[in-house]
Amino acid sequence: MKSLRLKTIASFINLEDKVVDIGCDHAYLAIYLVENELCQKVIASDINQNALDNAKQNIIKANYQNQIKTYLSDGLTNILETDIDTLVIAGMGTSTILHIVKTAKNYPIKKLIIQSNNDLSNLRKQLRKQKYYLQKERVVYEHGHYYVINVFTKKHTPYSISEILFGKYDSLHKEYYVSLYNELEKINQKLSFKKNIWAKLKIFTKKILLKKYL
Ligand SMILES: C[S@@+](CC[C@H](N)C(=O)[O-])C[C@H]1O[C@@H](n2cnc3c(N)ncnc32)[C@H](O)[C@@H]1O
Confidence band, pLDDT 50/70/90 cuts, at residue 1: confident
Same domain, 17 and 72: yes
Is any ligand 1 atom within 6 A of the Cβ of residue 167?
A: no
CA of 49 to the centre of ligand 1 (A): 11
Domains of the chain: total: 2
* Owning domain of residue 73: 4-157
Is any ligand 1 atom within 6 A of the Cβ of residue 51?
A: yes
Is any ligand 1 atom within 6 A of the Cβ of residue 90?
A: yes
Which pLDDT score is estimated for 193?
82
Confidence band, pLDDT 50/70/90 cuts, at residue 195: confident
Is any ligand 1 atom within 6 A of the Cβ of residue 46?
A: yes
Distance CA 127, CA 116 (A): 12
Of 22-26, 52-56, 125-129, 170-174, least confident by mean pLDDT is: 170-174
Distance CA 194, CA 88 (A): 44
Q: How confident is the model over 76-115, as pLDDT tens digits?
A: 999 989 999 999 999 999 999 999 999 999 999 999 999 9
Same domain, 176 and 149: no
Is any ligand 1 atom within 6 A of the Cβ of residue 22?
A: yes
Same domain, 43 and 99: yes
**Do the beta carbons of residue 22 and residue 9 sit within 8 Å?**
no
Task: Please report, for the domain that includes residue 16, its CATH number.
Answer: 3.40.50.150
**Do the beta carbons of residue 170 and residue 193 sit within 8 Å?**
no
CA of 116 to the centre of ligand 1 (A): 11
Give the mean model confidence (pLDDT) for residues 135-152.
Answer: 96
Confidence band, pLDDT 50/70/90 cuts, at residue 209: very high
Which pLDDT score is estimated for 194?
80
What pTM was estimated for this model as a whole?
0.96
Same domain, 74 and 48: yes
* DSSP assignments along 110-121, one per residue: -EEEEEESS-HH
Q: Is residue 83 part of a domain?
A: yes
Whose C-alpha lies nearest to ligand 1, atom 24? 23
Give the residue from 138, 136, 134 showing the smallest Cα distance to 157.
Answer: 134
Q: How confident is the model over 13-56, as pLDDT tens digits?
A: 999 999 999 999 999 999 999 999 999 999 999 999 999 999 99
Which pLDDT score is estimated for 192?
87
Which pLDDT score is estimated for 184?
96
Nearest atom in ligand 1 to 3's CA: 9
Give the mean model confidence (pLDDT) for residues 122-131.
Answer: 97
Same domain, 153 and 202: no
Same domain, 11 and 103: yes
Q: Is residue 162 part of a domain?
A: no
